[in-house]
Each structure stands twice: as C-alpha cells, then as structure tokens.
Structure 1
Amino acid sequence: MQQRPQPIAVKDTTAAAMLDMPASEFRRLVDRGALPPPKEIGGTTRWRVADLEAIMMGLAGKPGDNDDFE
C-alpha cells in the first residue's frame, strides 16, 4: 500500500485544523502577525507547514522579527 505524501503547504482551513482552532481565528492571528503569512502559488494561497511547526516548537520568532518567513 502506497502512503500519501505529507503536505508541505496547506490551505487556511487545514492549517487551522492542524492548530486545533477555527479557520476564522487562524486568519485573525495571521492578520495580527502572530502567525506567518501565506505564500501565493499559482494563484492559490497556502501556508508552509514547516513555518507553522517552527512557530509551535519555538524555533522561529513571529513574522516581522526577521526574514525567516520570506
């Protein structure tokens, strides 16, 4: 049986679910700068899973502190 690949970028609803919060709260935290901004990929908006994991593990500052998310 073939395993599905782990996503490297996800939409807002998936990112919110990963953080166990409503999508509206996730978007509010992104708008406030508490979570990393999304990337535009071919006309779609996605959040890098690695950026979200780094925030949760304390390995990255909040967006704007440095260029970790650019």
Structure 2
Amino acid sequence: MKHRTPFLASERTAAELLDMKPAEFRQLVKAGHLPRGEEIAPGVVRWETDHLRNLRAGKLARPDGGLEL
C-alpha cells in the first residue's frame, strides 16, 4: 500500500514531516520561523502540507527572514 501524505496535518504530523519533535516544531512556529496552522474548526488547528513542502524548497522565505504564505 502506498503511503499518502494528508492535505492538512496536525501539529504532530507536521512535526513528523519535518523530522522534529512536536515541542521543537511548536517553538519554531511561535518564533515565526515556521508557518502558523489554521483553525479549520473550533479548537482544530491544521497545517497545509504544501506549505511545509514549499518551506523545505525555500519557496516561502522572504528577504526579511519572514514567511510568504
């Protein structure tokens, strides 16, 4: 069976996709180094996996060090 990557990822899954511990991922999001998740329902936050892929490819970086989403 082929492994499928979800369109939206929980914090834990987003951290796994970047080979990080959830606490490390959370710190980098809080510091603005990684994109914030979006609340898709009350209390349900998810990250777009396309944003995470683009981040890896350097496509979200701005000259000021921020992220372009």
Q: Tell whether 2:49 aligns with 1:56.
A: no
Task: Please report how far the alpha carbon of residue 33 of structure 1 lies from its aligned counterpart in structure 2 after TM superposition.
Answer: 0.3
Structure 1 unaligned segments of length 5 or more: list them.
Answer: none
Measure the CA separation in 2 of the matches of 1:53 and 1:10.
12
| Structure 2 unpaired stretches of 5+ | none
Q: How big is the shift at 1:65?
A: 3.9
Q: How does 1:1-70 map to 2 (within 5 A)?
A: 6-43=5-42, 44-61=44-61, 65=66, 68-69=68-69
Q: 1:22 to 1:4 in 2, by over 3 A?
A: closer
Question: Aligned-residue CA RMSD in angstroms?
Answer: 2.2
Runs of 4+ in 1 over 3 A off after TM superposition: 3-6
The aligned amino acid for 2:56 is: M
State the percentage of identical aligned residues.
35
Using the size of structure 2 for normalisation, the TM-score is 0.80
Q: TM-score, normalised by structure 1?
A: 0.79
Q: Does the 8 Å CA contact 2:8/2:47 hold for their aligned counterparts?
A: yes
Q: Do the aligned residues in 1 keep the contact of 2:33 with 2:66 (CA within 8 Å)?
A: no
Change (3 A) 1:8 1:32: same
